[in-house]
Amino acid sequence: MELIVARPEGLYCPPGDFHIDPWRPVDRAVITHAHSDHARSGSRHYMAAQGGEAVLRGRLGDIDLQVMAYGEALTHNGVRISLHPAGHVLGSAQVRVEYEGEVWVASGDYKLGDDPTCVPFEPVPCEVFITESTFGLPIYRWEPGDVLAQQINTWWAANAAAGRASVLYCYAFGKAQRVLCGLDPGIGPIVVHGAVENVNRGYRAAGVDLPPVLRVDEAQADKGAMRRALVLAPPSARGTSWTRRFGDHADGFASGWMQVRGARRRRGVDRGFVLSDHADWPGLQTAIGACGASRVIVTHGQVPVLVRWLNEAGITAQAFETAYGDEEDEGASASGSAGDPPDGPTDGPSQVGGSSGEAAAEDVAEGSEKGAAQRADARPRAGPAAGSEEAQ
């Protein structure tokens, strides 16, 4: 029996009669995390990890929500369900499903890098692993968090010395809080957009230590301080009257897509910082290898590349067509959706994947000789199994 299948409403567990991150309203929804492409309103009952409760309620409103601690298990219709850390954002979880001795894990979105704002990714042994592939190309390899923090602080300090505010655009949930934890408040005041501060409250409620911040109306009283400020805002704030309050300012963008030169050019910002809450290419390999799965199903991102690479590396891999998107995209918002759900049911894996990584693929395609080399490197090859020392 297939323990998890793709249906028009979302990923569905037939023996347990519940959905995981459904994109249409259902009776019972198990939520991996509160990003808008995975947590949508309208379902009758929700289950999620305890750490993300405040953010999830803040986004979905008055919902019937059951929270569970990581590692806690319950049995529903004979299916044992437990949630395990995904390392993606606050409260993110992998969903472990066990039935008649078989174990599947739906990972949602995840990362393996260091992040002081959430519990680190925990490999969960399973027969079948359902994974994302947002940054599933060999060109995507992240720097350590302390290196990125130093880059941002150095940029901020240089701008402050020149009397220019530094406006850094990043997603309000997850990315902004990681940036905050690495900032040096000695450089100047830290100002945040209301969308960022709304999420900050959920992080503080969960015990995450964030530095003091100001809202823009509080910071405007001191014009000199405003010119030394580091401002965190969602991409949607760019070019608005809110941003124009900072006058002549430097701007930057923090996202995994900043790894690619074409993406940086299209953003048209002064500086790009490569910072992602998703696994990079080595991280995907490591996570898949660590869970020991003999079968992998890919849900969104660079689906064909990862599916082919895994099959050629000796791991059976297929794809689910889903409506999951990329919260790092500029068009994503706290209330937006990731796209339209697929047409018609698909009760088993298909060989067709999602398309949230198309922009990155276009960037690779446009890049001259370096892009050609990257495309060649991206072709799957027979070689070490995912997660092996050579593969990492």
Residues 190-238 have pLDDT tens digits of: 999 999 999 999 999 999 999 999 988 887 768 788 899 999 999 999 9
Q: Which long-range contacts (CB under 8 A, 24 or more apart) does 22-31 make?
A: 23/322, 23/323, 23/324, 23/337, 23/338, 23/341, 24/341, 28/76, 30/81, 30/83, 30/95, 31/56
Question: In Å, how far are 90, 174, 202, 391 from 208, measured between CA atoms?
Answer: 9, 12, 9, 34
Helix (H, G, I), strand (E, B) or coil at 233: strand
pLDDT band at 34 (very low <50, low <70, confident <90, very high): very high
Predicted pLDDT at 222: 80
Among 194, 222, 166, smallest CA distance to 58 is for 194
Q: How do beta strands 316-319 and 214-215 pair?
A: unpaired
What's the rounded mean pLDDT across residues 150-155? 98
Predicted pLDDT at 292: 98
Question: In Å, how far are 185, 312, 349, 352 from 298, measured between CA atoms?
Answer: 41, 15, 9, 10
- pLDDT at residue 33 is higher than 50: yes
Q: Which H or E run contains 219?
A: helix 216-219
Name the packing angle between helices 145-161 and 175-182 (round to 10°): 70
What span, in angstroms and rounded, lies between the C-alpha atoms of 133 and 379?
15
Exposure letters 160-175 (e unless 16+ CB within 10 A, then b): beeebbbbbbbbbbbb
Average pLDDT of the residues of the chain: 85
Regarding predicted confidence, which is higher, 149 or 326?
Answer: 149
pLDDT (tens digit per residue) in 246-277: 999 999 999 999 999 888 788 889 999 999 99
Predicted pLDDT at 326: 67
Lowest mean pLDDT among 49-53, 240-244, 329-333: 329-333
Q: How far is CA 171 from the centre of its chain?
A: 10
Predicted pLDDT at 217: 82
Token pair for 273: 């910082």
What global pTM score does this model have?
A: 0.84
pLDDT band at 284 (very low <50, low <70, confident <90, very high): very high
Which residue in the block uniquely carries the two structure tokens 């290196």? 147
Predicted pLDDT at 221: 67
Tell me the residue type at 361: A
Helix (H, G, I), strand (E, B) or coil at 116: coil
What span, in angstroms and rounded, lies between the C-alpha atoms of 285 and 229?
39
